[in-house]
Amino acid sequence: MITNTETGKVELQPEVLEAVVVRFVGDSGDGMQLTGTQFTDTSAMFGNDIATFPNYPSEIRAPQGSLYGVSGFQVHIGSVEVSTPGDDVDLLVAMNPAGLKTNLYAVKPGHTIIVDTDSFTKKNLEKAEYKTNPLEDGSLENYRVIEVAMSSLTKEALKDVEGLDNKSITRSKNMFSLGMIYWMYNRSTDHSVEFFNKKFKSKPELIEANTKVLNAGFYYAETLELIPNSYTISPAKLAAGTYRIIMGNAATAWGLLAAAEKSGLELFLGSYPITPATDILHELVKHKHFGVKAFQAEDEIAGVTSAIGASFAGDLAITTTSGPGLALKGEAIGLAMIIELPLVIINVQRGGPSTGLPTKTEQSDLLQAMYGRNGESPVIVIAASTPGNCFDFAYEAARLALEHMTPVILLTDGYIANGSAPWKIQTVADMPEIKNRKITEVKENWHPYNRDEKTLTRDWAIPGTPGLEHRVGGLEKDSVTGNVSYVPENHEKMTHTRAEKIRLVQNNIPDLKTEFADSGDLLVIGWGGTYGSLHSAVKQINDEGYKKIGLAHFNYINPMPKNTEEVLSRFKKIIVCELNSGQFASILRINHSKFEFFQHNKIQGLPFSNDELIEQFKKLV
């Protein structure tokens, strides 16, 4: 905002900001996810770095106007690196009182709220449990509230468009708010208009309506005196390349597609719908053109067992689930472990225990992934840490499963699975080699449990291969012949061998790296989906002058990287931050007992906030 010294008039000069957090909230039916996605895509194409997080109710269509029916979409856009969807909301767009009530906590005083005043009716205020109208009772005086009669303005804008029913008119008011935001952040409406043209190809009246409302919002914001300034966020400095916006679950699915193509295997998915993992199934079923066999089974158990069957027969086999489903799959994963077949199990974690918080995020399945099977049953456990690297770790899960003939559990979570971010597109040619263990040659004295000396992995002899007929099974097997064996010493030997086989995977994974500091006062440790929050907090505290705080984020959990102990020894203090009550910390204590591990834990179904992390770190330095 610049004041003209001659006239004394305030001129509309765009203010340049580094990053901004915008949250759109309304009824489940108000189209908030679409509005958010459109703003995200447009900003990404403008060159901003972005991170998003949708927050929607588990009810499919909750009663209109109710507090629990509020659906939200948050996007963080920046000219600098953005690693989380953001904590404090700079701009809240509330389409109804319930949305305002449930989201006001996130808006810092002095920041902006746009409301649709038409929705602040007596009935809606009651539903949102407001005793008085917050727009009138002064409770919002610490905020900059922009009141817009969005519903009436939308209706007015559409009065000349023919062929529209009332429902379509009401439903397009979200585009009015989008138009306003585009103007405020100096974005073009082109991308969204193009989107309408594609989406409503066969319904020209809807193209016209949405475009009109979008433009109406855009021009309204431009001429409205209530908006005294405009913001702009310059493009961010991302590495050169071709990008697209990708959601974590889609990235996971694509990583698997890439792994199948690279390894020359067919992809088999055995799965059962469960929130928040189902989008991986939704994505993979689309890709029959790549020969993907996606099998929706009758339950979680049939999901994993069909995958085990497909793996036995030579496919790259996957099963996808969330916490409760992982519990059901436990026995079958133990089978895949003892018969030593490659199998990728993807657990998109959600709040537990039991049904828990299906649409919220948590990291509380780590111990289940590590130990949630009968007997001593070690498997590889890895975790993705950003929406984009779900691609890399899905690929990595497939690579490790195939190269080491073992189940691999990949942990993601609702936060990164539903979050989106710019993804620098990787081609299959860029991806690391995958060498599977298939054999076709009949060797003298071959047994199914013959092992490679260096990795202790067995061969993969698949049905249909002449001369290699053999039986596998869940009973303990003789270490040489593979026949059923109850010999005590053999059982101990096989138990140790299976554990050692997983430990040796250390030779096939990268070292643990530290960021911000290689050594010093405090090492912040995290794993999986909290990377964005931890990275952002450690960066901020470094910017504040605390230069001896480092971050070590784990993607490889079982086994851990070889240099883990050495990294831990370089710092005076260590704090392990997790969205559970200390599961990774307990694993670290078992494996590295000479260190003291402080903990920071949160179990609210929400990601860490920057402030809480920084406060914790400051206590320790």
Question: Which residues inside 305-344 make contact with another protein, applying CB under 8 A?
Answer: 305-315, 317, 331-332, 335, 339
- Rg of the chain over all Cα atoms, to the nearest angstrom: 27
**Interface with another protein includes 589 (CB under 8 A)?**
no
Nearest CB to another protein, comparing residues 47 and 356? 47
Query: Contacting another protein (CB under 8 A), which of 14, 17, 29, 47?
Result: 47
Q: Which of 183, 295, 393, 527 binds another protein (CB under 8 A)?
A: 295
Query: Minimum Å distance from CB 45 to another protein?
Result: 5
Cis ω for the linkage preceding 276 (within 30 of 0): yes
- Minimum distance between the CB of residue 534 and another protein, rounded to whole angstroms? 25
Residue 291 contacts another protein per CB under 8 A: yes
Residue 472 as a binder of another protein (CB under 8 A): the answer is: yes
Binding residues for another protein restricted to 429-448, rule: CB under 8 A: 429
CB nearer to another protein: pick between 269 and 525:
269
Interface with another protein includes 224 (CB under 8 A)?
no
Q: Which is nearer to another protein, 96 or 271 (CB)?
A: 271
Angle of CA points 388, 53, 354, to nearest 5°: 95
Using CA atoms, how far apart are residues 112 and 91, in angstroms rounded to an integer? 5
Sign of CA dihedral 222, 70, 389, 250: negative
Neighbours of 282 (CB within 10 A): 15
Selected binder of another protein within 204, 264, 375, 473 (CB under 8 A): 473
CB closer to another protein, 267 vs 525: 267
Q: Which of residues 123-152 bind another protein (CB under 8 A)?
A: none
According to CB under 8 A, which one of 19, 125, 281, 302 is a site residue for another protein? Answer: 302
Residue 93: which of 173, 14, 168 has the closest Cα?
Answer: 173
Number of shown-chain residues binding another protein (CB under 8 A) = 71
Alpha-carbon dihedral sign for residues 473, 476, 482, 487 = negative
List residues bridging with 317 in a β-sheet.
268
Which of 91, 257, 494, 574 is the binder for another protein (CB under 8 A)? 257
Which contacts qualify for 58-65: CB closer than 8 Å, 24 or more apart?
A: 58/275, 58/358, 58/359, 59/28, 60/28, 61/28, 61/29, 62/27, 62/28, 63/127, 64/27, 64/29, 64/127, 65/27, 65/96, 65/97, 65/98, 65/119, 65/123, 65/124, 65/127, 65/128
Q: Select from 38-46, 114-122, 505-513, 579-587 the region that touches another protein (CB under 8 A).
A: 38-46
CB of 47 to another protein, least distance (A): 6
Contact 589, 597 (CB under 8 A): yes
Nearest approach, Cβ of residue 55 and another protein (Å) = 24
For residue 271, how far is the Cα from the chain centroid?
19
The answer to whether residue 375 forms part of the interface with another protein (CB under 8 A) is no
Query: Which one of 16, 224, 475, 480 is in contact with another protein (CB under 8 A)?
Result: 475
Helices 610-620 and 531-543 cross at an angle (nearest 10°) of 60
At closest approach, how far in Å is the CB of 197 from another protein? 13
Smallest separation (angstroms) from another protein to the CB of 105: 34
Spatial separation of the C-alpha atoms in residues 145 and 135, rounded to whole Å: 8
By CB under 8 A, tell whether 270 contacts another protein: yes
- Contact pick of 63, 264, 375, 463 for another protein (by CB under 8 A): 463
Q: Are 414 and 350 in contact (CB under 8 A)?
A: yes
Instruction: Tell me, residue by residue from 528 to 567, as one string, x for binding to another protein by CB under 8 A and - for no binding.
Output: ----------------------------------------
Q: Name 460's Cβ contacts closer than 8 Å, sequence gap at least 6.
A: 314, 341, 342, 405, 436, 437, 438, 439
Position 264 contacts another protein (CB under 8 A): no
Q: Facing residues of 76 across strands?
A: 21, 51
- Name the one range near another protein by CB under 8 A: 40-48, 498-506, 508-516, 607-615: 40-48
Neighbours of 167 (CB within 10 A): 9
Segment contacting another protein by CB under 8 A, of 135-143, 144-152, 355-363, 420-428: 420-428
State in Å, rounded, how far the first CA of the chain is from the last one.
40
Residues 226-245 interacting with another protein (rule: CB under 8 A): 238-245
Among 465, 490, 506, 591, binds another protein (CB under 8 A): 465
Q: Return the range that interacts with another protein (CB under 8 A); candidates 14-22, 59-67, 76-84, 463-471.
A: 463-471
Q: Which of 426, 450, 490, 497 binds another protein (CB under 8 A)?
A: 426
Half-sphere CA count of 67, side-chain side, radius 13 A: 10
